[in-house]
Amino acid sequence: MNIDGLRIKINPLTWVFILLLITTGYYVELVNITLSVLIHELSHAYIAKKLKINILQIEIFPFGGVAILDSVVFVRPDIEILIALAGPLSNIIFVFILLMIMQFTGLSFDYLVKINIAMALFNLLPGIPLDGGRVLKSILSRFLGLTRAMNYSIYSAYFISIVMIYYAIYSIKDGGINYVLIILAILLFFSSKNEKKMAVFFHLRDVAYKKSEFLKKRSMAVNHIAVLEDEKIGKIINCFLPLKYHIIIVLDKNLREKCRITETQLLDYAVSYGLNKCIGDIFGGF
């Protein structure tokens, strides 16, 4: 469905989660969860709008939502961190507001407080596509490059999913399997797999954004990468950092410099020879 030009998609497992709450009579809980998710996602949208980032789509999950933003955000770690933290922070602020209302009016919002605390903490877990995973990816990308940072964040999500399922099944001792936790774990696992498919796209977007920024500012910080002549092109590209232009120094087995090539040249070689070609083979072993 579309709301004012914004595409809203509800994940199929979210419908399962809603049906589970309705059939078990948790109507009030469903309203509280919906309100908490709405606050969480509107906060992402508000900060994105303030930073002039377009929101292409929001996919609703039981643990919150995943906003599909203008792809420029993925090559700007600083912007991605701000947008990611807006959601959990809004839930925490809402908790403080509720506690103040409870303090001065005597009204009870205990369940709503618990839901918002749980939503904030869960979304801060360091696994893609959770907000904490995006923060982790953005921080790591400054040192490891986009691809490796994305992979670490995805593997972290896999680990978290496995721990959640183990805990849900283990809880049978205390009265039964926690099916809600299992649904959340499955959602997290498959959502992170979908993010992995986008890694190549992020690289292409990084190249395009870097070029436009370079032409606009007419200068850019340089990062040097030293590689052996038998290193594959794909692995070298995986070392590229956001918002830096790279100079690749090719060394022989005695660590003597053979040549230097630019990031642009390496990407041209990737198109011509493929990612599995060794950099030294392109020049006939120099």
DSSP result, 79-115: HHHHHHHHHHHHHHHHHHHHHHHHHHH----HHHHHH
Tens-place pLDDT, residues 17-48: 778 777 877 777 778 888 898 898 889 888 88
How sure is the predictor about 204, in pLDDT bands with cuts at 50, 70 and 90? low
Residue 245 has pLDDT above 80, yes or no: yes
Question: So what's the pLDDT on residue 256?
Answer: 92
- The pTM of the full predicted model, rounded to 2 decimals, is 0.78
Place of tokens 């038998």: 230
Mean pLDDT score, 159-166 = 92
- 208 Cβ contact partners less than 8 Å away, ≥ 6 residues apart: none
Tell me how many degrees the CA angle 255-221-237 measures, rounded to the nearest 5. 55
Structure tokens at 82: 């701000």
d(CA 178, CA 17): 12
Structure tokens at 221: 């910080």
Question: So what's the pLDDT on residue 28?
Answer: 76
- 54 Cβ contact partners less than 8 Å away, ≥ 6 residues apart: 48, 69, 70
Domain positions in the chain are: 2-144, 221-282
What whole-number percentage of the chain has pLDDT above 70? Answer: 86
